[in-house]
Every structure is written in structure tokens, then in C-alpha cells.
Amino acid sequence: MESHHPSQVVECLRHEQANAVQLYLQYKGYHWNVRGPQFHDLHLMFDEHAKLVLDTVDLLAERQRILGAPAHYDLDALSRSSQLAVDAHLPVTGHEMVEHLVESHRHIIRNFKAGFELSTELHDPGTADLVTQCLLVHEKLEWFLRELLERRPELVEALPVGPTGIRGHASTATGVA
């Protein structure tokens, strides 16, 4: 079937499908290899995020088919289309893994914003809507990860000291909540 849509949109969708596959593999690699004091929480979160990213792969591939173009499915083609940097070495700490994931999401977010502009300019509301849906997924995941990197001792210091002498903790014996 001949494509009935500008190749720029299809190329954008292909890059983002490949980026999503690469990000999925990055998450799974970190899920399998995380260790240290945050092991449990990061292990579970990486797996949860990986599933959310994987869900976008099918949507992006199907949109290419809707537009009349084939969707890449082999690892070689996907690898060539991905724009995400692959870790030369496995990050040592969970903190480093989170930093790498934040950067990957930021790259994808920038691409989706450009894809939205392109699809809007070309009067393609279906692609614009899909790109917006995927953008929201990546913005939320980036936010979750970014919050793990924040250090805000001023928030803890701002909590009132309860009757037990513990900051932010009220005694239930006094009825103070």
C-alpha cells in the first residue's frame, strides 16, 4: 500500500517507536541490575515504567500503518532509528540509572513536542492526538524520576515539631493530628 501521508510524520513516528523500544530495554536492564538501599522501590518502579513505555510502542507502530507505511519490527531497523544514547557501561548506582532515564525521557519529550508541531502544521489531528497521549506518559514518568533526584531538606525543616519531639509527627494520645 502506498503511503498517503508525508514521510516526515512517518519518520517521526518511526523514531519514537524505536526510542520507546530502546527506553523499554533500558528500563528492563536497570530493573534487572539495580542494587543497593533503594533496590526494592527502584526494581518495582523500573518495571512499572517499562510497561507504560511498552504500551506506546504498539500505538506508534499502528499509527504508521494507518498512514499507509510499514512499521519496523526487527531490532536492526529499530536500533538504526532510535535516537537515544545506549549506555556504554551499566550505571553503578540507582541514582545514576535514574539520571540516565530522566535524560532519555527529556529527549523523547522534545521529539514528541516537535512531532506535535509537525502533525499540527500538516493538519493531521490523529497523529497530533497520539503524540499528545505519548507525550503525557513521558512527562509523567520523567516527573516521577526527577522527583527522586530532588533534595529538599527545607521541606522537612518546615514541618512543625509535634508533642513527641519528632518533626512532622503528632501524638495521637493528645488528639493532635
Going from the N-terminus, what domains does the chain have, and what CATH number goes with each? 7-158 (1.20.1260.10)
Return the DSSP state at 167: B
Cβ atoms of 94 and 138 closer than 8 Å: no
By mean pLDDT, which of 80-84, 89-93, 131-135, 166-170 is the weakest?
166-170
Cβ atoms of 156 and 167 closer than 8 Å: yes
Mean of pLDDT values over 77-87: 91
Classify 82 as helix, strand or coil. coil
> What pLDDT is recorded for position 93?
95
> What pLDDT is recorded for position 87?
84
Residue 4 has pLDDT above 60, yes or no: no
- The span from the CA of 135 to the CA of 138, in Å, is 5
Read off the C-alpha cell for 111.
521529539
By mean pLDDT, which of 62-66, 110-114, 159-163 is the weakest?
159-163
> How many angstroms from the chain centroid is the CA of residue 158?
32
- The more confident residue out of 160 and 89 is 89
Residue 159 has pLDDT above 70, yes or no: no
Mean of pLDDT values over 154-168: 56
> What pLDDT is recorded for position 166?
58
With 0-12 / 13-18 / 19 or more C-beta atoms within 10 angstroms meaning exposed / middle / buried, residue 99 is middle
> What pLDDT is recorded for position 151?
76
